[in-house]
Each structure stands twice: as structure tokens, then as C-alpha cells.
Amino acid sequence: MKKTIRIFALLLILGLIAGSFTACKDDSGKIKIGISLPTQREERWTIDYRGFIQAAEALDVEVIIQIADNDAALQLRQVENMITMGVQALIIAPHDAGAARQLIQIAHAENIPVIVYDRPVSGGNADLYICVNQFEIGRAMGQYIWDNVPSGNLVFLKGDAQDNTVYPLAEGAKYVLQPRLDSGEYNIVMEQFVVGWEPARAMRLVEQALTVNRNNIQGVIAPNDGTAGGIIQALAAEGLAGIVPVTGQDAEIGAIQRILAGTQGMTILYDNFAMAEAALQAAVRIINGEDSGATSEDEDGTPMLDFQPVKITKDNWQLLIERGLITEDDLK
């Protein structure tokens, strides 16, 4: 896995210079699908990248993948560029959910179907939304805190406010925590968004909370593994790492290492490869005039295909090895 990540780091550098990576460049008449990802700075998005490449090879379709580098304006230009290049469908994981509505409108004006991937776009009228159930992720985080923190002060950090996944996730966590919030057993002393999901920002926020509350913090809800890493750095500086439970999601290697070390309590695993494959399969079906394969609808009525999350703790972390996502050597 480490070697693979280094390879994809190189691909990212090349991709930022060239603006895209194309799995096939010939004129074989293959279906051509454009894919816009928000970043490669987080391990989970490098896995999605790999998933799309593998699925494209298996389905024998051409994909053009472009990385927005957490820049909504760049994502707009890249989507317009892919439309110019003749893609027949777009798969978009938006950096900014509000700005993504324009991306969908631009594509639909050219009769190009759009599949929104992982991050919802309210009112965007996408042809399909493929996601992990964020409310259930939040419930899993909230349940972990409930089970391991009987009472006390909590820090509740959320992801970037422009990412619509943060809202159902927060709702899911509070759904579990609410009885103790109402009774006063829990007190949320800080509730903040983390701009760009940046670990350094999460670290600074928790440093502030620790200072203001004189280290009297009993639990931290971290919205993902990257922010959890920054949070745990702040806790470690005060001798609290491994004492204050911290959540996470994405099942990154660093998170598993921290879970085994006892400084992070849990993370969330979802099958990025299966999601990427499902997105490409759906795009092909829509291009061919077939049913998208949606199994439900989101709140806006957008056809939806959702995947269920799996909570990973010290008791079942080896599931990642069983699924071939990591090796024991990765954790050394």
C-alpha cells in the first residue's frame, strides 16, 4: 500500500501539471466518461482514484480524471474542459456543493448526464447520487462516544461547511447524543467546521478548546481520520492522547495505526472500489438509455444508490487486510 500511495503521489504531481489523467487515449470508439475528484491530498481519495482506473479497465471504457485540488473555480474549468473533450457522462465529487449545481446545469445543457459521487448537491437535479449513508456514519461516531464517555465536555468538529456530507453526519451523531445533551450529562464546549478538512486547523481548534476549558475535555468527535490525526496531536501535547476518546472515518493507514496504539477509538470503512465501479456502471447504463440502478431517492428526489458504512475498532481492524485494502507491513 505504501508503495502504491507513493506511485499515486507521483501521478498527482503529473496530474496537477497536465490537468488530467486519461486511462485510454485512442480513437477506438469506447464510451468516454469524465470524472472530477475534489482532491488527492487525503488517502481515501487516492483509493477512489485507483478504483475508477481499475473499474474503467474492467468495463473497457475511457475515463478522463481531473483533480480540483479543493478549488471550486478550478473544478468548474475542468468540467467545462471535459465537456469540450467529448465526454458522454460526468461523475462529479464536488468540492463546493453549492457551486456544483452550476456544473450539473452546464452538463445538462449539453445533454450530458451527471452522477454526483459521495458528496450531495441539494437541488442540483443530478441523474444519480452515489454515496455512503452519512447519517449512519454520524450515528456510529455518536454511539462510540456514548459507549466510552458517560458524561463530560465534548468537542464536536465537523468537516468543511461547503461539503454537504457534514450535515447528515452531524445529525446522526447528535441523534445518539441528544438524550445526554438534554440531561446535561454532555456539554458541547466547542462545535466548529474545519475548513478544507485540514488536520492543522483541527489541531488548532482543539488546542483552543483545551486552553479555554483547562484541559477538561472528555471526548472529541472528529469528522474524518485526517482531522483526527491533528486532534490527537493537540491532545498528546497535553498528555491526553489515549485518554480522551476520538472518532474518525475513512479507514486510513494512519488511523489504524492510532487505533492499535490506543489514541484513536474508531474509524469508518466503506468500499471505495465498489462505489467507483458502481458509478461507472451506472454511467454506462444511463448513456445506453437504461435504468441507472438507483435503489432509493434522497431528500430532493434525486435517484440514489447508497452504501452502508462499517465501524472499525481495535476489535475488527483486520477486516481491512481481509478486503485487501492494507497489509500488515503497511502498519509497521
- Give the model confidence (pLDDT) of 55-103 as tens digits: 999 999 999 999 999 899 999 999 999 999 999 999 999 988 888 899 9
pLDDT at 27: 57
Are 45 and 268 within 8 A, CB to CB?
no
The CATH number assigned to the domain with range 134-269 reads 3.40.50.2300
As a whole number of angstroms, the distance between CA 139 and CA 149 comes to 15
Same fold, 2-126+271-307 and 134-269: yes
- Residue 17: the pLDDT is 35
Short-list 301, 277, 281, CA closest to 291:
281
pLDDT-above-90 percentage for the chain? 71
| C-alpha gyration radius of the chain | 20
Grid cell 469540450 is found at: 84
CA distance 332 to 329: 5
Amino acid 4: pLDDT: 39
Q: Distance between CA 63 and CA 116 in Å, rounded?
A: 16
Q: Which residues pair with 187 in a beta bridge?
A: 153
Answer whether 119's CB lies under 8 Å from 160's CB: no
Evaluate whether 83 touches 64 at the Cβ level (below 8 Å): no
How far, in Å, are 192, 202, 218 from residue 157 at the CA level? 5, 8, 14
Amino acid residing at 269: L
Strands (E), the chain: 21-22, 32-37, 62-67, 89-92, 114-117, 128-132, 152-158, 186-193, 219-221, 267-269, 296-297, 303-307, 310-312
Predicted structure pTM score: 0.76
CATH number 3.30.530.50 is the correct assignment for the domain at 2-126+271-307: no
Interior angle at CA 307, CA 305 and CA 308, nearest 5:
145
Sketch the domain layout of the chain as residue ranges. Answer: 2-126+271-307, 134-269
Low-confidence ranges of the chain (pLDDT < 70): 1-28
